[in-house]
Structure 1
Amino acid sequence: MTNRASAELSAMDELTPRQHQILKLMQQGKVNKEIARELDISLGTVKQHLVAIFRKLNVQNRTMAVARLAEFKDQSGFDQVFSGETLMAMRPCIVLSLKIDNGQSRAARKRFHTCLSEMAFDCNAFFISREEGEGDLIFGLKRSSAQDMRLATLVADYVSRVMNSYVGQAPSLLPGEPVLSGAIVAGLINISQNRFGGWSGDTVGSHVLTWGHRLRDSAPNGYLVIDQPVQDVMKAFDLTMPNGVPDQLAFSDISTLNDWDVRTDKPLVGRESEFSEVEKLLAGDFNILIVEGENGIGKSRLCREAARKAISQKYFLSYVRVLPTGYLDSANNGYYDQWQDVVQALPDNTPVLVVIDEAHHLADEGCADLTAYMNHLPKHHKVIVSGRQSQVYAFDPSIELLVRKVHLQRLSQSDLDTFFSSADVSPELAERCRGIPLFARELALNEPGTISFALLVTVASRIDKFRVDWKLLYCVASHKESVSLIRLSELMCDDFAYIKAAVNRAVALGVLSLDGTRTSFRHPLVKDVVHYLFKPNQHSDVVSRAS
């Protein structure tokens, strides 16, 4: 939990039992006189408590107090009205299914299960222990993330290395003989979901698990079977299969998936001014370039082009992807738990370009470590930090002139035409993708009116990250046109103050738009995704290839 979240939860804890009662009645829409009558206290006492509540929660009015309650209710456990609510929905998930060789000892099987359990904890995945020597990790069940596919491959690689090392001297195996087989599959899992995202812990059901077991059992020892929907997702998130068997990958070759140099990259389009900043960085005009932009806008694509340019100019490249579990240097095949370990692996007395991609995954400690490194940057180092908007680093005043920032904008219609090497991009595609390269690419690869699994993951991860009320979004998505806040209050059985605060939050995050007292989705594709995840069987025009 971040320091900010901890502080705000502490503020909730500072409320007295009476103030908790008053805040709960405010959430139900009660005015001061009604609160006084229900609690059998004077109107003046109610007002005094309100002043104390506003001060402790650092808010200015009733609406903000209710919004603060809504934002932290599932963390603090304070309001059981919401914590008990669940929604039946589909969640896009990645399933890693592994099996250890039948000839292994009970001790080896125990080590296998312990390893999977540890990885589940580190990667926020859900571990299902099957028969002895079998196990599944489900990524995306608790929180969706565009990193889930990469994490699944890294976990498969790690477990394979651990188990090969553990049983390396076992008499039942030849030296170096692999001990694992497995599969990675992608699909939709039907779950009971909390209003603010993530599995409630009650219900899980999907044919995806069965399919994963079938592929795992068909895999040769030492190989990971990767089905076609997974390969589609891998391409969308910059992981590419090496040449060889189309649907199988040796565990020993998994590390090749995370090579930064994606062979299928299209030419860089619509980023001339941003790339000119990269060239100035490498020429020595400044030392640090911050790249910002929304999901799918092409931040990593710009970073890869910068990396190629740096290599052509004889720079040593360190291309670091920030993961929830650590740092992956995909240029040098290194994984590190701490940022200091990344820095120590860099060479001395040679020009170095360090690319830090997906920097928005940095925890507070990692952000502080990166900031300290940039504030005391070695003489020959240049840095590109890429992440979602907005990144804030506490730079020393002495280096502020050596830092530049670029914000990637959405592609224009002419850029989209160039992106697809065509002058006839349909108005429908342009409207649905709204200039976002990832959306444009995925929509172009699919039949009109369908949604790829990669888009489901991208949209769901954004909503989960910002803790937008999924029930609110579903109610809005169920209307063809905009819907009034009063109607939402009736449908959701929530008071108007909460609805208004929740909608305003979604508007501020760019998910919804608000016209007076009516709201609708800002992006039609986001609406389609939300609609589909809650009622997939009622929308034949929206189909996931991985479902």
Structure 2
Amino acid sequence: MARANELSTAQNDTDGLTPRQRQILQLLSEGKVNKEIAQELQIGVGTVKQHVVALFKRLHVSNRAMAVARSKQQAPRSVFTSQPQDTILQRRPCLILCIELPPAHARLRQLHGHLAGCAYQYDALLLARKGHVLEMVFGLSRISENEAIKILALLQTLYPLAGSLRAVLSAGLLCASMYSQGGWSGEAIAGASLGRARELLRQTKPEQLLIASPCCQLLEALGMIDPQTLSQHSQADGHACFELDGLHMLYWRGERPACARAGREQEWAMLSQALERMFAPRKAAQPCPLLLLSGETGMGKSMLCRELANLALARQLPLMFLRVVADVDGVFLHDVICGVSADCAKLEQIWRGHGLCIIDDLHLLPPAQQIELIHTVQQRASLLLLSARRFVPALGTLAPVQADLRLQHLPPAAIQDLISTVWRQEAGQHTLGRQQLQQLCELAGGVPLFALELARHCKRRGVQSGPERRNTPGLTLALIVCARLDELQLDCRLLQMAACNPGITRNAWLQAGGAESALQLAIASGVLRGSGSGAEMRLQIAHPMVEMVLAWLAEGCL
């Protein structure tokens, strides 16, 4: 409670800063020391020190890291900040980095400043503890599948500066006070995950990074670590330990664990037939034909791209398999076959051959860069397969579209096949009953990724059968769902009410102070479904997995 009261006064503190103090606070958040700030602002080092001391007094803090954290806690990144917002208590899936710095380091303040700058850059919350221990919480205001990439990038820059440290990467749920339309309010944060991370840090040896068991499962599901590497570094308790100078083994390339091609036979037939016709004669000036593959996250786009690449390799056809990867330093192209990367504007550095070219996750590029990249590839390839959540409208004007495949939800039979395949992968597991299989199939709602991750999670903890359906989604699925919802910037209070009270009416939402515009936006996004009309329109979360995740995250917070 004392922490919450302390934070609640910080907004007035930051509002009272002078323009010069705000400039210095910004430079502190970038990790700059007094000498660098003086050079930047063209003032004396002594003057900078006086401003910093005044800044600390105004913010009621005692060091730079606390000053940056205080200012950051009061600036949630939301586009809905023009008016006061309601807040709700909500559990959030977060990644936690716990670090112990060397106490006798000559530049300890600089290390604290560096971490404060990283926290600002990566939209994380920095908490300083006694004994040179710091915690960074990632994904509190907005979660994404790139949070672990940010953490690894931070460690790779911090370790050479510190010379010696130890760290723990964990994942869990934190209960936080959230603005209804996105972003942490800065008023409260609590959860046992923070204490568990500190306990694991005491067990970690110097120069090592310990990855807690829940985080290992998350990294494996997101494709950041392959099962073989994980097993080589796993301990008896399920945690994994890595040397800090060997973090290159944990580098994400967008490759999720392989899954069966169940339910995508029609799309696969069209792609393989297009490959057969790849070298059909065409006019010299005519660009290569396009194959478009679109669908939401988890529908199987990357799987089909990988399958087509494997077929081309088996037939010894020239192939370029590129994946657009969003890193902390920007967006670049990764050559899946050779394992090299290049800037999107320097494709010639990694280009080879004149056959099939596959570009996966094209939507991560801005529209103008998409068009430029496609235009460049068309002059070099014989067949071009593009995969994205959705395509820019001008794409079809660049070349003849040979096939436009839009992946829809899979039928129940295909989802059951996927779940059964995952269940059989490990020996010694009990048989999955028909009722349990049907229950998991209903929760997956036709989305292959949901089916795979739900089956893996339930296999670890067992399926809970019965009318109450007390299966939980697990941390990985919660992160995937929350990442997509955070992108849409919908009203969290509306979604929480609809998940915990299926069939709630429009009138009940409006009487609770909700906005009609928020309701219409949620319906238009497809997350919320309305049945009926007028004040008695009944509202329900459209997808059963999204409903289960939201209801699970609301437990203990209502």
Taking structure 1 as the reference length, the TM-score comes to 0.70
In structure 2, relative to structure 1, the CA distance for the partners of 1:299 and 1:92 (3 Å cut) is same
Q: Give unmatched runs, 5+ long, in structure 2.
A: 1-76, 235-239, 280-287, 425-432, 465-470
Query: What SS does the corresponding residue of 1:230 show, helix, strand or coil?
Result: helix
2:182 match: 197
In structure 2, relative to structure 1, the CA distance for the partners of 1:128 and 1:403 (3 Å cut) is farther
Equivalent-residue separation in structure 1 for 2:253 and 2:309 (angstroms): 9
Equivalent-residue separation in structure 1 for 2:309 and 2:408 (angstroms): 21
Q: Deviations over 1:383-404 (max 9, x none)?
A: 544332x32153373x330564
Matches within 5 A, 1:141-156: 141-156=140-155
Q: Does 1:321 align with 2:306?
A: no
Q: Does 1:88 align with 2:89?
A: yes
Equivalent-residue separation in structure 2 for 1:263 and 1:462 (angstroms): 17
Equivalent-residue separation in structure 2 for 1:208 and 1:194 (angstroms): 22
How many residues matched? Answer: 433
Equivalent-residue separation in structure 2 for 1:297 and 1:348 (angstroms): 30
Q: Does 1:475 align with 2:475?
A: no
Check whether the contact 1:261–1:304 (CA below 8 A) recurs between aligned residues.
no
Cα offset, 1:457, TM superposition: 1.1
1:525 match: 545
In structure 2, relative to structure 1, the CA distance for the partners of 1:245 and 1:377 (3 Å cut) is closer
Cα offset, 1:349, TM superposition: 5.1
Equivalent-residue separation in structure 1 for 2:491 and 2:320 (angstroms): 45
2:306 match: 304
2:215 match: 230
Letter of the structure 1 residue corresponding to residue 157 of structure 2? V
Cα offset, 1:493, TM superposition: 2.3
Check whether the contact 1:371–1:395 (CA below 8 A) recurs between aligned residues.
yes
Taking structure 2 as the reference length, the TM-score comes to 0.69
Letter of the structure 2 residue corresponding to residue 89 of structure 1? Q
Q: Deviations over 1:100-122 (max 9, x none)?
A: 4455431xx44544443443344
Q: Deviations over 1:6-29 (max 9, x none)?
A: xxxxxxxxxxxxxxxxxxxxxxxx
Check whether the contact 2:221–2:256 (CA below 8 A) recurs between aligned residues.
no
Q: Does 1:254 align with 2:252?
A: no
Check whether the contact 1:322–1:356 (CA below 8 A) recurs between aligned residues.
no
In structure 2, relative to structure 1, the CA distance for the partners of 1:444 and 1:432 (3 Å cut) is same
Counterpart of 2:345 (choices 321, 326, 340) is: 340
Q: Does 1:506 align with 2:522?
A: yes
Query: What SS does the corresponding residue of 1:267 show, helix, strand or coil?
Result: coil
Check whether the contact 1:375–1:396 (CA below 8 A) recurs between aligned residues.
no
1:374 match: 374
Cα offset, 1:192, TM superposition: 0.8
2:481 match: 459
Cα offset, 1:461, TM superposition: 1.7
Check whether the contact 1:96–1:182 (CA below 8 A) recurs between aligned residues.
yes
Equivalent-residue separation in structure 2 for 1:117 and 1:451 (angstroms): 33
1:12 match: none
Counterpart of 2:292 (choices 280, 290, 293) is: 290
Equivalent-residue separation in structure 2 for 1:291 and 1:320 (angstroms): 15
Equivalent-residue separation in structure 1 for 2:137 and 2:407 (angstroms): 33
Matches within 5 A, 1:325-404: 325-327=329-331, 329=334, 331=336, 339-341=344-346, 343-348=347-352, 351=355, 353-357=357-361, 359-362=362-365, 366-377=366-377, 379-381=379-381, 383-388=384-389, 390-392=390-392, 394-395=394-395, 397=397, 399-402=398-401, 404=403
Cα offset, 1:129, TM superposition: 4.3
In structure 2, relative to structure 1, the CA distance for the partners of 1:510 and 1:534 (3 Å cut) is same
Check whether the contact 1:87–1:193 (CA below 8 A) recurs between aligned residues.
yes
Cα offset, 1:261, TM superposition: 9.1
Letter of the structure 2 residue corresponding to residue 271 of structure 1? R
Equivalent-residue separation in structure 1 for 2:145 and 2:556 (angstroms): 21
Equivalent-residue separation in structure 1 for 2:256 and 2:172 (angstroms): 26
1:435 match: 446
Letter of the structure 2 residue corresponding to residue 322 of structure 1? A
Q: Deviations over 1:76-118 (max 9, x none)?
A: 64433xx3x2111111101122334455431xx4454444344
Q: Deviations over 1:512-531 (max 9, x none)?
A: 11111221221222222222
2:125 match: 126
Letter of the structure 2 residue corresponding to residue 189 of structure 1? L
Equivalent-residue separation in structure 2 for 1:181 and 1:415 (angstroms): 46
Q: Give unmatched runs, 5+ long, in structure 1.
A: 1-72, 168-177, 539-547
Indicate the structure whose relative CO is greater, using CA pairs within 8 Å and at least 6 residues apart: 1
1:240 match: 225
In structure 2, relative to structure 1, the CA distance for the partners of 1:316 and 1:250 (3 Å cut) is farther
Cα offset, 1:260, TM superposition: 4.8
Identical residues among aligned pairs (%):
23
